[in-house]
Amino acid sequence: MSEPLNYSAVTPRLGFPMLFTGQSQKEATVNEALILLDLVLGEGVLGVRNDPPTAPANGDTWIVGSLPVGEFSGHVNALAGWTEGGWRFVTPKNGWRVHDQSIGKNRLFRNSWQTAGEPVSPAGGAVVDVEARAAINALIQALRSADIFSSLV
């Protein structure tokens, strides 16, 4: 005898709502999933905030900081997006990346949001190796071009 199929109410990786046979108002579930998808895959985030902005535009998204207050309370590290229906929060998973527009850098989530630190260009020392310094500087420039490092602070 075969066992009945069991489905979760949400997708396994992103936690988006699922549809069910005979479900009424399917458009609400589909629209909620599309809103969450838009917030996660949109144009990145505007920055990191502990407090909700007073006049966000529809679609504006931030990373919730480590000391959230107000409507952000209880959502440390989440992506917080403003929608016509109010705030939506998406809990990040390890490996997620977003572009932080406020600093011009990509952030990687690894139990918290991190940015890559740019190494210091080589200088000084007892022996000057011009070729090694040129190679390291070329590597740093290539990483900047790939948007791994940014000249913005």
Query: pLDDT tens digits for the chain (153 residues)?
Result: 455 555 677 777 777 777 777 777 877 877 777 788 888 888 899 999 999 999 999 999 999 999 999 999 999 999 999 988 899 999 999 888 999 999 988 898 989 998 877 666 766 666 667 778 888 888 888 777 666 765 554
For residue 142, the 8-state DSSP code is: H
Yes or no: say if 72 and 49 are a contact pair by the CB < 8 Å rule. Answer: yes
Nearest of 103, 123, 121 to residue 113 by alpha carbon: 103
Q: From CA 45, how far away is CA 81, in angstroms rounded?
A: 9
Binning the chain into helix, strand and coil, the percentages to the nearest 5 are: 25, 20, 60
Q: What is the value of pTM for the model shown?
A: 0.71
